């Protein structure tokens, strides 16, 4: 994958899956897993697949400016005006990636839901929806048992001091692992300098530290995710 692809600047490595875009090999594996889930009584769907740099920039800047909801690690609302730059950045990056670093840029990662149990319009991507009797709880448990066979894993299973747990987020290991290894921090820095990123100076001063905490710090992929691919 090229650096522009890794940063969400190009999409020529993608293919359509319903109304979403996924990296080509990821799309094939997703379709196979979707069929297996269907046989088990679920309607596995992609709520959010590939995301462009500009889309991620809009999300990030919107939270800085108070135009999008901002919450703490417990999901309680925060007012950006009451936070200093460090506090604001920490609150945003706990739930939303820095533009250019979202795993959604790669097309190997997506957010899922069970369309038999909840509509896309109702879906909030909140942890309770994927636990116990939540609408996606049963599919979530089925994926726990079967997703590695298709090459998928969860990069955000627990709080490692960076991104908060995201049970809805799946990653296709055969693409995501080499993508992470190939990522060029210098290319990211150069692109961010030219962007309309809010808090730009503060972010560029701390970029290495932020990447270590919020980009590289993920749950390792099980070896089984690579065996059948």
Question: What confidence tens digit (pLDDT) does each residue in 170-183 have?
Answer: 999 999 999 999 99
Of the candidates 24, 81, 22, 93, the one whose C-alpha atom is nearest the C-alpha of residue 56 is 93
pLDDT for the residue 99: 99
Quote the CA–CA distance of 56 and 69 in Å, as a whole number.
15
pLDDT for the residue 227: 76
Give the tens place of pLDDT for each residue, 198-222. Answer: 999 999 999 999 999 999 999 999 9
Residue 136 and residue 168 in contact, taking contact as beta carbons nearer than 8 Å: yes
225 band by pLDDT with thresholds 50, 70 and 90: confident
Torsion 25-26-27-31 (CA) sign: positive
pLDDT for the residue 75: 85
Q: Strand 169-172 and strand 109-114: pairing? A: antiparallel
Buried b / exposed e across 117-155, counting CB within 10 Å, b at 16+? bbeeeebebeeebbeeebbbbbbbebbeeebbbbbbbbb
Q: Which residues contact 21 (CB under 8 A, 6 or more apart)?
A: 11, 14, 15, 49, 50, 107
pLDDT for the residue 229: 62
Tokens of 80: 């950006």
Give the tens place of pLDDT for each residue, 57-108. Answer: 999 999 999 999 999 988 899 999 999 999 999 999 999 999 999 999 999 9
Strand (E) or helix (H) holding 205: helix 200-205
Set out the domains of the chain in order of their start, with CATH numbers.
3-217 (3.30.1380.10)
pLDDT for the residue 131: 96
CA angle 103, 104, 106 (to 5 degrees): 75
Does residue 63 sit in helix, strand or coil? helix
């Amino acid at each position: 994958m090229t650096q522009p692809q890794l940063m969400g600047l190009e999409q020529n490595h993608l293919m359509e899956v319903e109304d979403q875009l996924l990296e080509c090999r990821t799309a094939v594996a997703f379709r196979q897993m979707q069929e297996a889930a269907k046989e088990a009584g679920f309607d596995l769907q992609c709520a959010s697949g590939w995301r462009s740099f500009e889309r991620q920039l809009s999300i990030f800047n919107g939270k800085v400016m108070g135009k999008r909801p901002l919450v703490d690690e417990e999901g309680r609302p925060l007012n950006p005006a009451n936070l200093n730059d460090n506090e604001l950045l920490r609150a945003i990056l706990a739930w939303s990636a820095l533009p250019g670093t979202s795993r959604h840029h790669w097309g190997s990662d997506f957010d899922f839901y069970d369309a038999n149990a909840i509509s896309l319009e109702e879906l909030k991507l909140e942890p309770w929806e994927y636990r116990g009797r939540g609408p996606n709880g049963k599919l979530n448990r089925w994926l726990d048992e079967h997703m590695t066979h298709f090459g998928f894993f969860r990069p955000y299973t627990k709080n490692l001091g960076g991104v908060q747990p995201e049970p809805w987020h799946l990653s296709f290991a055969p693409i995501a692992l080499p993508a992470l290894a190939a990522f060029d921090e210098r290319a990211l820095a150069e692109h961010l300098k030219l962007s309309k990123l809010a808090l730009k100076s503060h972010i560029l001063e701390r970029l290495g530290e932020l990447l270590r905490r919020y980009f590289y710090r993920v749950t390792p992929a099980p070896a089984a995710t690579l065996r059948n691919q």
